[in-house]
Chain A
């Protein structure tokens, strides 16, 4: 893989220059400790027992024989577990009842947590957990997700459910070209490297939790409410995190560890296995999306409908808002978008890297490609003709919208101008070759954060913020931001993160982490520098300044801010075997000020690789008879391997927003947006067959060729 990247803005300080991770040596030498391996004296081990039925009621838990097994100290279940507060407003809303463990006898899906066995060793706990007999009254379950389920209803999630303007049917009827197509994406799982793990202990009346999460203060606040504790009585630390992607918020492992540590009054650790992660840590819902586009003879949109159906559990509502994508990308006189959800006997889905944008961009950017073909237009030209001047929904101006710059720079670098638009005519040995393009966007938001900056007596500086580095390079980025604000060399700044005692801060999510934290770090460091400039003598305990961006975030000018991108892909398809290989990808992004080109590129390329994986590999198959997954592990659930990831390049264009005080937009998610569509569009160009159902598996390519139609 090559990722040649060229910066264009000449940086004044260290922000904008490439820096390897400040904790890089620790990580590659194994010195960096993760939550599952940090030693605790007198540690006991908890192992979760999951239901083997998909819906029903627990009749009894035969804990007697298990309590007599070697090393077993406790079996917690709905019959004996401490009562929790289950009705409260957490950081992102009411708690998912999946996480408020053992409060009743209901089983809401296969793999529902029904008991926790605690023992002296992890092996003893596991053996006892696997021996525990649980009796159920089983009820018929329904896991049959389909887009045409009549009970699907619109939901306002973190995006509005339904947004409509104009007369859709009239505009469609008046259109010269119409596309009316259905796309589906399967259930997908985060599959980060490090499994969820947490240890909890009581220490002098204070609850301490060592965890792997995307926000220590989020976990602190929700656990405090759940266990009816003062937030100040709970401390959550999360030093290194082996990936999160939206899955590492409040989860059963933390609650189980705290519950057991409280009952046993000794430290308890709970680690999830890979198989347990599939039903217990969230996932991206499958989607069924109908897109209707109508355009005039010149390819200008008159009508757009994007209707997306996703699934949720019967105990909690999460909607995958795929129909939000056209609310940013394209306008039309009639513009209807709706996000609907069907409750089924399945685990609750959750945020997964580019929630809504990843599946929604596959549908919309494929449909635009279909429309371009109908209009006889180059797909980039179609987008140029439909680039909106203001937000199609809010009517607000866009802050720094450089989408077309991405397309133009990408087209130049990729060699798009030489493209023959005819499908199915380029052959190289057994391979048919094709290229495709798609657009990308992701919201650039910010959340209030606090930071502490300290001038130490020895001339060094310490910054503390409860940020989370989930592999993004946030710790390094914040070090660069602090060094520039303090106007000192990088090696005089230490940044401590991942500790709820540092005060409230934005979580690592929504591509808002670095933008939000950098704002607070910059403010604290700037103020500290000004104070030091007055010539203060530094006392032994140092001088500390605290910042809080709550007011500044509220005062931010009301414009729609997004990052953008253009994804280009070249694929090779062997239609005799159905094999699809991505040959090269280029992503050009407009993502504001890039703090650290090295780690930013890493995130963008990582997102594009997620897109390859989404296009060709990832698919969790739900087994209707049992209600659980078929092959719910990393042998059964395929993610792209190195051999699937050839030349992947990411670069960016100048993207400056004069009205934005931070200028950073975040690059965690935009890299995956549009990538799968670019690949599907390239497969169409290579073979002449349109694939509307992900992943584009060999059997689907093979049978599409057999039947001469697209796979249904």
Chain B
């Protein structure tokens, strides 16, 4: 392996300073993705700045009634937190649907948002990949792509974002906070991931050298009735082939408010705004759920072998919303 320097940061400004302007340096959280990528040669950092010991491990209520989740909170602690479970059931479900117990004990919230795609071409340095090596091409377009993107992709990259947690946070309008040498900043999750276009190697809008310090989840009473459902190719320990995060407020059989986000269909967690618009104010009935899903999926551009995802997402939306509507009617 390539030798690398390792430093443990004591505080946030120290961490930002340690990383500095060094393009060869990386922040190390739980290491559940970065260390794998170092072993496969996708990442070859000269320096790791370990941020796990930073005082960013708390989950606190905000004055507005939301939650502020520190960047180094582990996935396990996030999922188990009583306020997360009470206010945002879909977030707990999403986190628990990901990885394995051991990985969730290590993985951090900040790292989860920055994890890289699990596209097999990206992970294999002997193969071309525009995300890993811009300009080398995308073999997934003609090659293996049954679990690649159907929404928002481009001819340069059809990789998907692997996070489950991110899908729930996207539905919840979460905001990412960060620190740079020039001071703090924040980005709504909706603007956090960049469109693919012809720059698939540029994944987020974070300024260079920025350290994610946390995620703020606004109050969302609608999330009291919410669900995360993930479909994968085995019952556990696999990335999604399609997932839905949904929160639903129904009264008198009419949809008052709805939040809907999709996973494993795009280069980022996909907020299904067209579906949300189609659903708001209409009767909570299966045909309306299907019509809403169709409104969102009209933009889908499936490849040779992933057209099933259009069907899958439509079926998932109908199934999850039907379940939530039945729950509301009880």
> Which residues in A have some Cβ–Cβ distance to B below 8 Å?
52, 110, 123, 126-127, 130, 275, 430, 576-579, 581, 616-617, 621, 623-626, 628, 630-633, 635-636, 638, 640-644, 697-699, 702-703, 706
Contacts and interface: CB of A to CB of B under 8 A. Distances in A.
Given A642-B236, A703-B308, A630 B315 contact: no
A579 B235 CA distance: 9
B207 interface: no
B311 A706 contact: yes
A528 to B, nearest CB: 49
A651 to B, nearest CB: 25
Interface of B: 1-3, 40-41, 118, 120-121, 123-124, 126-127, 139, 142-144, 146, 231-238, 241-242, 305-309, 311-312, 315-316, 318-319
B234 A576 contact: no
29 contacts: A52-B126, A123-B1, A126-B1, A127-B1, A130-B41, A577-B231, A577-B315, A577-B319, A578-B312, A625-B143, A626-B126, A626-B127, A628-B127, A630-B124, A631-B123, A638-B233, A638-B238, A643-B235, A643-B237, A644-B236, A697-B233, A698-B232, A698-B308, A698-B312, A702-B311, A702-B315, A703-B307, A703-B308, A703-B311
A642 B316 CA distance: 25
Given A623-B144, A631-B120, A635-B118, A641 B241 contact: no
Contacts of A624: 143
Given A578-B312, A633-B123, 7 more contacts: A127-B2, A430-B319, A625-B142, A631-B123, A631-B124, A631-B144, A702-B315
Nearest to A645: B235
Contacts of A631: 120, 123-124, 144
Contacts of A577: 231, 242, 312, 315-316, 319
Given A577-B312, A623-B143, A628 B126 contact: yes
Contact of A581 (B235, B315, B316): B235
Contacts of A617: 233-234
A112 B212 CA distance: 43
Contacts of B232: 698
A638 B235 CA distance: 11
A617 B232 CA distance: 11
A626 B124 CA distance: 11
A698 B311 contact: no
A644 B231 contact: no
Contact of B308 (A579, A581, A641, A702): A702
A616 B121 CA distance: 23
Contacts of B126: 52, 110, 626, 628
A463 B40 CA distance: 45
Residue in B3, B118, B144 whose Cβ sees the most chain A Cβ within 10 Å: B144
Nearest to A619: B233
B179 to A, nearest CB: 32
The 9 closest A-B pairs by CB, nearest first: A631-B120, A643-B236, A643-B235, A576-B315, A630-B144, A699-B308, A630-B120, A641-B236, A644-B235
A430 to B, nearest CB: 7
Given A578-B308, A623-B144, A630-B143, A698 B241 contact: yes
Contacts of B312: 577-578, 698-699, 702
A435 to B, nearest CB: 19
Contacts of B231: 577-579, 698
Nearest to B137: A625
A637 to B, nearest CB: 10
B236 A576 contact: no
B139 A626 contact: yes
Contacts of A638: 233-234, 238
B216 to A, nearest CB: 32
A193 B234 CA distance: 19
A576 B2 CA distance: 47
B142 A644 contact: no
Nearest to B144: A630
A630 B305 CA distance: 15
B192 to A, nearest CB: 25
Contacts of B121: 630
